[in-house]
Structure 1
Amino acid sequence: MAELTAVLASTHHPFYLKATTAPAEERIPQADEWKRKVEAYRETLTAAEPDILVMVGADHFHQFFLDNYPTFMIGKQEKYDATFYNEEREFGIPKYVLDGDVDLSNFMHQGLMDEGFDFSFSHELKIDHSIICPIITVRPDADLPVVPIYTNIFAPPLPSPKRFWDLGRAIRKIIDAYPSDKKVAAIGTGHLSLELGGPLMFGEHGPDPEFDAQAIEWLSTGNIEAILENVTHESMAGSGNATHGFMDLILMMGIAGPENADYVDQLDLYHTREMYMTWYPNKTDKMAEAAARSAAGVGAVTGPMYAAKAGATA
């Protein structure tokens, strides 16, 4: 059977590449620290030595809109084109062509149906920055096949936070049952508190620092009970109009299970708080050493001790 070697959950910031490759005189003050943190996070995936990436994201109204926005969807292609023109123009994200893994896509699609998730599917899916951002940050060679899963975090009515958790648990079950000797890593991105185009946008920090601290603590300690007790569509909307992307992070914790994360880091980046988290379901010494080395290099806080420091900037 396949081995789930790592689960990674993070925010996705489309300006990362542009901000960290600009000439020194044009860089934002946090650029060098941001780059160090991302490169440390990348090492946690490299140590897992995956063969396939199951990638969770959301379409930012690039190919789906209010006339047809699937709740959950899986790609089933040999190749995936990325990036959309406005992402090239505004964010400086280059074009990509990613290999797919049709066999795992088909196996996962059938498994998800069997688990009670009526997924849409696409043979003509184009990938946007919710998946390209983690390719840039944790697998910049873009040398592994992907299975993309898209969720609806934008167009009401939205699935509940529990539905995202349950979907994560189902994905974990299906990966564990996949008849292959390949190693699979699951990578997903979402949001903490976030405002897009509204009055809370572009402040000195994310629109709701208290929610951000709680969210990272809940995720890093596998506290699904606290999440389901405290997080609703209404509460997320109160923390910022795009905070519903947090549900994709709940999904990733669902894949990992209610466990302490092996690696956690964060960065207060003026209008957002960036977060980077890794779980190792079958942790080896090499993985543990990579997580410890990365943490020591950037000052990340790992494991259960993180909860006491969740409000601090790592």
Structure 2
Amino acid sequence: MAKIVGILNTSHVPAIGKAIHQNLQQDPYWKPFFDGFPPIRAWLDRVKPDIVVSCFNDHGLNFFLDKQPTFAIGAAPEYRSEDEGWGIPTMPSFPGAEDLSWHIRDRLIRDEFDMVTCQEMLVDHAFTLPMALLWPEQKWPVRSVPVCVNTVLFPLPSARRCYKLGEAIGRAIAAFPEDAKVLVIGSGGLSHQLEGERAGFINKEFDLKFMDSMVNDPQWATQFSDVDLVEQAGNEGVELLSWLIARGTVAGAVKVVHSNFHIPISNTAAATMLLEPV
């Protein structure tokens, strides 16, 4: 049976992609962020996951305000990136785990989650940058299942609903008959706001509490409405919903393999956490 071997939550600021392209990993501005990943890559080399289930938010590459699903899942043989206008080079296509995608999709719909099924899906920086941070040579040793959550058009899915989606994904993975090791990625955040009167807003106290809750009280953030999350984490900080989906996939306790928190990169509180089921 398939087994979740880890949860990797990380920020996906577009500027990370430009820093990678320009080889700025040792630049004083970027080094504190990039230094968070060698221990994670060492863990990947040891554990060797087969499949990644990536939870992220689309930034207009697939969905825009005229067509914005609450939840969508990719069920394609491969996923390509395209130019988003950020100066991030496109990456090699990502092979899909079609069998697991359809299995999760069927289970979620039977669990009363109305998933949009995408047999073609482009993936933007929210999906591609975590992959490039984990495997910088960009030769993907894993197959992928993309799970997209709306963090753009209000009302957003509630934090509680996102956590329950994660629980349902976790049950679906556990019921998949293939002997596969699965890494779940939650992409986005943490606190940041890019426009309006609070542009540049960062809430370190909330971020650290949220990161602690991933281990000690995983449903802590489900008390907040979407408006509450904007107040606490900023308009774009609501991307932490992807972290909640990822954390919900593991029902039991987890331990921290490695974590990193750095302020700021591109007006964002950048955070990375690798969690392992106990």
Residues in 1 aligned to 2:252 and 2:87: alpha-carbon distance in whole angstroms: 35
Residues in 2 aligned to 1:194 and 1:17: alpha-carbon distance in whole angstroms: 18
The TM-score with structure 1 as length reference comes to 0.80
Q: Which residue of 1 aligns with 2:103?
A: 107
Q: Which has the larger radius of gyration?
A: 1
RCO (CA 8 Å, sep 6+): is it higher in 1 or 2?
2
Q: Which residue of 2 aligns with 1:146?
A: 144
Given that 1:62 and 1:84 are in contact with CA atoms closer than 8 Å, whether structure 2 keeps it comes out as no
Name the SS of the counterpart of 1:47 in structure 2.
helix
Residues in 2 aligned to 1:170 and 1:20: alpha-carbon distance in whole angstroms: 35
Query: Could you tell me which of 136, 154, 160 is aligned with 1:162?
Result: 160
In the TM superposition, 1:89-104 aligns within 5 A as 90-104=86-100
Q: Which 5+ residue runs of structure 2 have no aligned equivalent? A: none
Q: Which residue of 2 aligns with 1:121?
A: 117
Q: 1:266 to 1:14 in 2, by over 3 A?
A: same
Given that 2:71 and 2:148 are in contact with CA atoms closer than 8 Å, whether structure 1 keeps it comes out as yes
Q: Which residue of 1 aligns with 2:11?
A: 11
Amino acid in structure 2 at the alignment position of 1:81: R
Residues in 1 aligned to 2:252 and 2:10: alpha-carbon distance in whole angstroms: 17
Q: What's the CA shift string for 1:27-65, capped at 9, x where partnerless?
A: 752322322212223333333211111111111122211
Q: Which residue of 2 aligns with 1:305?
A: none
Q: Which residue of 1 aligns with 2:271?
A: 275
Q: What's the CA shift string for 1:214-249, capped at 9, x where partnerless?
A: 21121232331x3223x2212222231112111111
Name the SS of the counterpart of 2:255 in structure 1.
coil
Given that 2:8 and 2:273 are in contact with CA atoms closer than 8 Å, whether structure 1 keeps it comes out as yes
In the TM superposition, 1:137-286 aligns within 5 A as 137-140=133-136, 141-202=139-200, 207-224=202-219, 226-229=220-223, 231-238=224-231, 239-257=233-251, 259-263=253-257, 264-270=259-265, 271-281=267-277
Provide the alpha-carbon RMSD of the alignment: 2.1
Amino acid in structure 2 at the alignment position of 1:70: P
Q: Following TM superposition, by how much is the alpha carbon of 1:277 offset from its aligned partner in structure 2, in angstroms?
A: 1.3
Residues in 1 aligned to 2:27 and 2:248: alpha-carbon distance in whole angstroms: 35
Q: Which residue of 2 aligns with 1:293?
A: none
Q: What's the CA shift string for 1:241-274, capped at 9, x where partnerless?
A: 1121111111111112353432322222252221
Q: 1:95 to 1:257 in 2, by over 3 A?
A: same
The TM-score with structure 2 as length reference comes to 0.90
Q: Which 5+ residue runs of structure 1 have no aligned equivalent? A: 284-314
Identity %: 26
